[in-house]
Chain A
Amino acid sequence: MPNGVLILAEVADGKIAGVTQELVGAAQRLNAGPVSAMLLGSGVEGAASQITGVEKVYVVDNAALAQYTTGGYTAAAAAVAQQADPAVILLGQTNVGRDLGPALAYKLGTAVAMDTIALEMKDGKLHTTRPAYGGSARAVNGFATSPAVATVRPKSQDAAEGGSAGAVVKVDADLSGVRTRVVERKVATSEGVRLEDAEVVVSGGRGVGGPEGFAPIEELAKLMGGAVGASRAVADLGWRPVSEQVGLTGKVVSPTLYIAVAISGASQHMAGCSGSKNIVAINKDADANIFKTARFGIVGDYKQVMPPLIEAIKKAKAEG
């Protein structure tokens, strides 16, 4: 009889990644039996003790898992799932989770709910809520098969704090069937804070008029220890790199504070930022869609608003 919740821990540079404790928190709140974690990789066993609030940590530590491959991680995760026999499996909607989720679900004869933002047990079964249609709608899904597999959007769940580390259970997996090979992997070096991790994002839209319009946006982002984002139009026009694009075809961000400068708030863009806890909109069009989801707004020309805003924030920071 399947029981409990199994979460996928993620490691970066020997440290457990932020989404892991968020998944533990979500798993605990489901109140669906014991919470365990699985840790997959090469030389990762030492990180197991960093995961807290779990009963067991299933570890597949194998040189063949040094690089992520769909086939390798699917085989390893499936081996753990078969041994742990959970009712629910949760992964982060991350590089790894969004690729592994569907492959693992298929391997286990079940299905996956992707990019969920809310999870609930009803009559002993998992129900998930996820954004659809670029965030314009919410879809609630149930499962006809078991285990229920879901990927969870980072920062959508409160992290579990405290609790003790789990007992390490080593699991062997047959990784001989992996057919893809990572030929090259280069970690992109970006200055400042990663867009997806930033607590503050300052984004600019086509309304800034040109690449030079991003100067005050960069200044404000730097001042607030945040990252710069851009609308699709801006990326398409080449004013900013595609890596800064927020939206349906770009990145999904959920910062505490999202400052949208001269962004109208098209569905395409809102899909990437509607998970932000607080949106501030600066736009000269009082009817712009962005004001419908913003908490605070300034109706005005960004060129005139940004300099005094930067000064006022500098002053506020100096006052502490």
Chain B
Amino acid sequence: MHIVVCVKQVPDWDIPPASFKVDEAAKKVVPPPSVAPVPSQFDAIAVEAAMRIKDAVGDTKVTVMSLGAATARDVIKHGLAMGGDEGVLLVDDAFNSLDSHGVATVLAAAVKKLGDVDLVLTGRQAVDWDLGVTGTYVAEMLGSPVVTFAKNVTVSGGNVTVERVLPDAYETVESPLPAVVTVSNELGEPRYPKLQQIMAAAKKQVSTWGAGDLGLDAAALAPRMTLEALYVPVVDTKVEIMEGDTPEEQATALVRRLKEAKLI
């Protein structure tokens, strides 16, 4: 069994809102200088899902793959410390400003190059752009079925069984392998690597592939969508703080204002 987990490196999403800045001209987020990039939360949970399958069925190779800058090696190492076996870093100048379709094209090409992949796992969405499309695009490119929003993933007899998270229902979906599954946070917390595992991860092999290694040219990576603007929305509400010397007076003032605004 060979599982590939696609992990994206993102600016730490849990920063105080006041530190969030955008360079509108460059259409890029400017991460605060002291904040280190981290694995996108749902992707770390996808690594956890892979490790649970490995624990359950044994004889499983887990490859942790990331597309991005050279620093994305850190998130691969983190996945390897969690128990992954090998890493693949996809880095190339041609990969610098890809849209989701381009990212999926590179990931799918890398999965094909690995050749013997049974299951591709990734987070349900990246916590920077929150799109939730990459897993599905990769599946379509590989010609594999996709199951999204997993809270439990098990493998047996050439099939993957996925419990899906839906707001108003529980659903169990079965798919033949190879398949792509996107993982939601309800699966549970990713395991925390022990120091010994972190040290062992440093010795595990990480291959680096570029566009040439994957046979991808500019046409294959051409964007289907364009980013025309990125900005921080102006919050035009100015909070109206309820006056009052006692909680009773504050509460009464609030109810009066809610009534005036026709909210009750």
Interface residues of A (CB under 8 A from B): 69-71, 95, 98-99, 101-103, 105-107, 110-115, 127, 131-134, 136-145, 179-188, 190, 194-196, 224, 242-243, 248-249, 251, 256-257, 265-268, 270-271, 278-281, 286, 289, 291-301, 304-305, 307-309, 311-313, 315-317
Contacts and interface: CB of A to CB of B under 8 A. Distances in A.
A257 B264 CA distance: 9
A179 B169 contact: no
Q: Chain A interface secondary structure, helix, strand, loop or mixed?
A: mixed
B213 interface: no
Contact of A194 (B149, B167, B222): B167
Contact of B263 (A134, A195, A257): A257
A186 B166 CA distance: 10
Contacts of B192: none
Contact of B171 (A184, A196, A267, A289): A184
Interface residues of B, number: 76
Contacts of A267: 13-17, 20
A180 B186 contact: no
B25 to A, nearest CB: 14
Contacts of A312: 251-252, 254-255
A308 B247 contact: yes
Given A106-B136, A114-B131, A136-B20, A296 B13 contact: no
A185 B141 CA distance: 28
Interface in B208-256: 222-233, 235, 237, 239-242, 247-248, 250-252, 254-255
A299 B17 contact: no
B203 interface: no
Chain B interface main SS type: mixed
Contact of A297 (B222, B232, B240): B240
A13 to B, nearest CB: 12
A305 B254 CA distance: 11
B255 A184 contact: no
Nearest to A110: B224
Nearest to B240: A296
Contact of B224 (A103, A111, A251, A298): A111
Contact of A181 (B13, B14, B174, B258): B174
- Those 9 A-B pairs whose CB atoms lie nearest each other, nearest first: A111-B224, A102-B133, A102-B136, A308-B251, A309-B251, A140-B229, A312-B255, A304-B247, A106-B140
